[in-house]
Amino acid sequence: MGYYSDKLSADRLKGVYEIASPRLEQYLHCEIEFVGSRLDSSSRVLELGCGYGRVIKLLSDSCREITGVDSSVDSMMMAAEYLSGFPNVSLYAMDASKLALRDGCFDVVVCIQNGISAFHVDPVLLLS
């Protein structure tokens, strides 16, 4: 399926964040805080490449609903457990470049700490 599905998903992905240096942790926290500060309680958010749900967990209190998609089924299974107590979260295993979701149902689309280049498609088309 691809690098993120085969090599860097679920527990392996979580392990990468667990060994991050303090400086990198600070950067990651600031990025999430920046996005969260621009959401409001009515926002419907889509996160592309959500992995095991680390960012969703941190943004869920800042919005009405948040949907995560990831191509890794293993990551989605881990995310379902990790986010089980969050009623405003929906998760879908799918390719972010070929979304099977209705147009116009999100106010905000984010791709945090997962370079848009990882999707190997035109970034403007991906986000539109």
**Amino acid sitting at position 47:** E
Q: Give the model's pLDDT for residue 2.
A: 66
- Look at residue 103 in the predicted model and tell me its pLDDT: 85
CATH of domain 3-127: 3.40.50.150
Least confident span in 53-62, 86-95, 96-105: 96-105
- Tens of pLDDT, residue by residue over 23-38, are 878 878 888 999 999 9
Q: Quickly tell me which residue has 């009405």 as its tokens.
A: 64
Q: What distance separates the 2 farthest-apart alpha carbons in the chain?
A: 39
pLDDT at 64 over 60: yes
Q: What is the DSSP letter of 98?
A: G
Q: How large is the angle between the packed helices 73-82 and 10-18, nearest 10 degrees? A: 60
CA distance 109 to 128: 9
- Tokens standing for 113? 């700490």
CA dist., res. 95 & res. 101, Å (int): 11
Please provide the average confidence, as pLDDT, over all residues in the chain: 84
pLDDT (0 to 100) of residue 125: 76
Per-residue pLDDT tens digits for 3-57: 555 555 556 666 666 767 888 788 788 889 999 999 999 999 999 989 889 999 9
pTM: 0.81
CB 43 within 8 A of CB 62: yes
DSSP character at residue 53: S
- Rounded average pLDDT over 76-98: 93
